[in-house]
Amino acid sequence: TIKELSAIFDPPATQQSVSTESSKEKGLIERAVGKRKEDIGIIEEERKDYQEELKKRLAQQERDLNPGKFEMQKGMNDLIEENTVPGKISKDRRELQKGRAHITPQGVIGDENDQQPKQQ
């Protein structure tokens, strides 16, 4: 009969609990995704810190192994300033501007080696 055939298509009793489980699963998945994003952020931060530390250690190791290299480079810059016309000009300009500051639209500009001058 028609009632017997329609009984086959009645929804099962567990259908409602399945839909609540899907929301539980969805919440679980969202928490897992959030945790994963948080872990990715932590890993990226640790990687950045490690890279900075590695650069510092390599630079220190380079200085320890080749102390003369940096002294020679410093000496070469001094030789250029003393023995070339552009070097002499830039050295004289730095000496003239030492301790002076002037105002530009961007703010007060002073000597690079000094700390930031006070803006008024």
Question: Does 8 fall in a domain?
Answer: no
- pTM of the complete model beyond 0.95: no
Using 50, 70 and 90 to split pLDDT, how confident is the model at 9? low
| Residue range 30-64, pLDDT digits in tens | 999 999 999 999 999 999 999 999 999 998 998 88
117 CB-contact burial (10 Å; exposed 0-12 / middle 13-18 / buried 19+): middle
Helix or strand or coil: residue 113? coil
Q: Which domain holds residue 73?
A: 15-92
68 vs 17, which has greater pLDDT?
68
In this structure, are residues 72 and 63 in contact, taking their beta carbons and an 8 Å threshold? no
Question: Does 112 fall in a domain?
Answer: no
**For the chain, what is the domain count?**
1
| Residue range 90-105, pLDDT digits in tens | 888 888 888 888 788 8
Question: Does 101 fall in a domain?
Answer: no
What pLDDT shows up at residue 58?
A: 93
